[in-house]
Amino acid sequence: MEVEGTVQGTVDGVIAEFETRGQAHFACVRCLTEWDGVISTKGTQHFSRLPDEDGYAIVDRQIDLTGPATDELALAIPAAPLCREDCKGLCPICGTDLNTDPCDGHGEESDSPFAALKDLFDS
Specify the DSSP element, H or E, that contains 21: strand 13-27
| d(C-alpha 82, C-alpha 109), whole Å | 29
Where in the sequence is the domain holding 116, given as residue range(s)? 88-123
State the total domains in the chain. 2
pLDDT single digits (tens) 1-13? 999 999 999 999 9
Residue 92 shares a structural domain with residue 122: yes
pTM of the model: 0.70
Residue 110 shares a structural domain with residue 68: no
Residue 70 shares a structural domain with residue 98: no
> What is residue 84's predicted lDDT score, i.e. its pLDDT?
94
Instruction: Kindly list the distances between the CA atom of residue 26 and the CA atoms of 30, 49, 76, 83, in Å, as whole numbers in the listed order.
Output: 12, 39, 13, 8
Residue 73 shares a structural domain with residue 51: yes
Judged against a pLDDT cut of 90, whether residue 101 lies above it is answered with: no
Residue 99 shares a structural domain with residue 53: no
Residue 47 shares a structural domain with residue 12: yes
pLDDT single digits (tens) 26-77? 999 999 999 999 999 999 999 999 999 999 999 999 999 999 999 999 999 9
